[in-house]
Structure 1
Amino acid sequence: MKISCFLSAQFDPSASAADGVDDLMAQAAAAEAAGFHAVYLGHHFLARSAFVQPVPLAGYLARATARVRIGFAVLLAPLLNPVALAEDLAALDVLSRGRLTVGLGAGYRRRETTAFAVQWADRLRRLREYVPILRALWNGETIDIAGSWGEVPGASLALRPVQPGGPPLWIGAFAEPAIRRAARLDTAWLIGPKGNDEELGRLLGIYRGELVDNGFAVDRDYPMTREAFVGDSYAAAAASVRPHLRRQYTGYKSWDDAQSLDIDRYLAEDCLVGSADEIVDKLLRWETELGITEVSLRHQFVGAGQDEAMDQLARFGAEVIPRLATSAPTSVHR
């Protein structure tokens, strides 16, 4: 199993964003040195925090790193023009020497779609249409394309990605219809940061069944995202993150939902929190029972400082990642 890192590129508006980016670069370098597989970035517009946009930041990360893969988890593709998106991502793949992974999502904030004059329902249609457009352009095809975003007869790209066929495409999804959509598009399903093992097993069964029904292979990437914290014990780890949890959860739900959050359940089911032994056991269980191939961990909870984030990267690199490299799953349900 591969272990990756989600970088929180959003800062207090009253603080220095330039200093925040410096901290982020230090985290990326630490993740690369510690043996993490990839670093991922999120995407929002009109955020309450000072949110550094991921496409230019990914180019900066490509220059600051040498081995670690760079990706999006996720990029709000429907808010962007598909031709610009294809060219920007091809450029990033060139800048990173073929280290790019592209997670795409439909988005869940109406404020963002309204700002870009995208109808709420149209964001789903755009996501469905964009995947084959990106693949065709990256493969060197010349295609006639049109949609609510515009029209281009005879579209083609002179700039081609380093990776044959372009960067891997993942679709981030929570709901069953969106998971089925990811399968029908022949993309990996990027599992969001929630869901217990039983529910994930059920949804993975639906995803794999949809792949088979559409004639696609089930042997592929199975990436997952989780909030994570390693401590000397489960109690110590939980105590460290509890002060940040409601603010963290608000990033996925409303503030009202966060106030009713069952913190004990959230920590036990939706997060990866505990001692190194407990974390390794859970990761190996996800690998053997669910077939998960990569877990992207957000180590810096909202409100946590740089020192804590760097300590977590070092601890995962020393106490968790080496043990996964030497442990092989006994069975994988695919």
Structure 2
Amino acid sequence: MKVGVYFDLRNPPQWRQDPSRLYGFTIEACQEAERLGASSAWFSEHHLFDDDYLCQPLTFAAAVAARTKRIRLGTAIVIAPLHHPAELAEQSATVDLISDGRLDLGIGTGYRVPEFELFDASMTARYAQTDGMARRLRELWGPKGVTPRPVQDPLPIWMGYQGPQGARRAGLLGEGLLSVDATLWEPYSSGLAEAGHPLKVGVMSGGIQGWATDDPDRDWPMVSEHLEHQLNSYRRHMVEGTGRPPPKPVDLDRVVNAGSMAPLKDFAYGTPEHVAEVIKSGTAGAPVDTVFLWASVGGMSEEATMRNIETICTRLAPLLDEDR
């Protein structure tokens, strides 16, 4: 199992950094992750967050591509219904060319009303739109599509779907599933078989929300403060534009080491050995290629981020690689 790092470039008001410095530092952090042996760096997309969440992951991936040589670069995710297929095909090809074939394109449906309004996009049939994006990208990267074409043939597409129905949809498409929840292998493999794809093409990768440290008691006051901001931010932004009331603040006692692989509902916290066991248990029996963890949680300091990257690469990754 390969291990990567994940960045969303949050910049909360209470820990505000110079935005240009944050972007430059994050590129440096990707370089350091590459030096320490990380397999990949992943970037996400959201719009109109009050903590400046990264809005252009492919643009940022291109910048990292120019400053690295080996590490793979992924999106987790690009919000497919906000983009035209030709634009996304060309952007992806450009990043793949700059990186000499290191792009992993993760796409998903999105869920925030303000984002769709910003782009004059429709939330109707978001999953059908995203399925259609995957199919159209394959056509556009083909002989009669956009130019120049990507280095990779095929360029990996990862469907950022959660839950059994989403996993089956990824299988029907014959694309990778951007989840490492082993319980989704059954519906994912059923979709592959139903559409006539060989099971051997089935592959899963995805994010693990967690933090590994040699001293959990020492780090918890810092980690918990930033984790609380991160989770409450997701919960608050999730209901914007829906008319639903703001959710209650997150109860971290119900989230930390909750025993679930569900996004935003579990946070693996403890020693590298503990976090490794959580990951191994949650992914057992599924064809998981890569897991990636937040390098920074909720706008952490540069020092905390670099220390976390070092722990992920030098302490956690060897524990997950030992049974390969």
Q: Mean alpha-carbon deviation: is it higher for 87-96 or for 243-252?
A: 243-252
Q: For 2:268, which of 272, 276, 299 is the aligned residue?
A: 272
CA contact (8 A) 1:286 1:292 kept: no
Describe how 1:227-306 pairs up with structure 2 within 5 A: 227-236=209-218, 238-254=220-236, 256-257=246-247, 259=249, 261-268=250-257, 269=259, 270-306=266-302
**8 Å CA contact retained: 2:30, 2:41:** yes
Equivalent residues of 1:229, 1:237 under 8 A apart: no
Percent of residue pairs identical: 25
Counterpart residue identity of residue 134, structure 1? L
Q: Which residue of 2 aligns with 1:315?
A: 311
Residue 158 (structure 2) aligns with: 170
CA distance in 1, matches of 2:297, 2:248: 14
Q: Who is 1:151 aligned against?
A: none
- Work out the CA distance in 2 between the residues paired with 1:113 and 1:175: 22
Alignment of 1:104-183 (within 5 A): 104-140=107-143, 142=144, 156-165=145-154, 167-183=155-171
Gaps of 5+ in 2: 238-245, 260-265
CA drift of 1:251 comes to 4.3
Q: Deviations over 1:214-267 (max 9, x none)?
A: 2223333211212221122555554442222222113442374451x3423311
Distance 1:97 1:295 in 2: 22
Gaps of 5+ in 1: 143-155, 193-199, 329-334
CA distance in 1, matches of 2:168, 2:204: 14
Residue matched to 1:5: 5
Matching residue of 2:74: 71
Q: TM-score, normalised by structure 1?
A: 0.84
Query: Equivalents in 2 of 1:246, 1:326: separation in Å?
Result: 33
Return the alpha-carbon distance in structure 2 between the equivalents of residues 318 and 115 of structure 1. 41
CA contact 1:237–1:273 (8 Å) conserved in 2: no
Deviations 1:266-317 (A, max 9, x none): 1103223211221222333344344422111003110421110100111222
Structure 2 contact 11–298 (Cα < 8 Å) conserved: no
AA of the residue aligned to 2:288: I
- The 2-side partners of 1:118 and 1:69 are apart by 30
Q: Which moved more, 1:78-87 or 1:220-229?
A: 220-229
Flag the structure with higher strand content. 1
Aligned partners of 2:99 and 2:47: how far apart in 1? 24
- Report the counterpart of residue 226 of structure 1 in structure 2: 208
Shift in Å at residue 79 of structure 1? Answer: 0.4
Distance 1:313 1:277 in 2: 16
**8 Å CA contact retained: 1:238, 1:267:** no
Structure 2 residue aligned with 1:32: 34
Residue aligning to 2:241: none
Q: Secondary structure at the match of 1:320?
A: helix
Could you report, residue by residue, the CA deviation over 1:52-88 in whole angstroms, capped at 9, with x for unpaired residues? 4212211110011111001100001210111111111
Using the alignment, how far apart are the partners of 2:248 and 2:227 within structure 1?
8
1-structure distance, mates of 2:295, 2:17: 20
Whole-Å Cα distance in 2 between the matches of residues 287 and 15 of structure 1? 36
Taking only aligned residues, the RMSD between alpha carbons, in angstroms, comes to 2.1
Q: 1:218 to 1:272 in 2, by over 3 A?
A: farther
**1-structure distance, mates of 2:223, 2:206:** 20
Q: Is the 8 A contact 2:182 2:282 kept in 1?
A: no
TM-score with structure 2 length normalisation? Answer: 0.86
Say whether 1:212 aligns with 2:193: yes
CA 1:125/1:36 → structure 2, altered by over 3 Å: closer, same or farther? same
Aligned-partner SS, 1:44 = coil
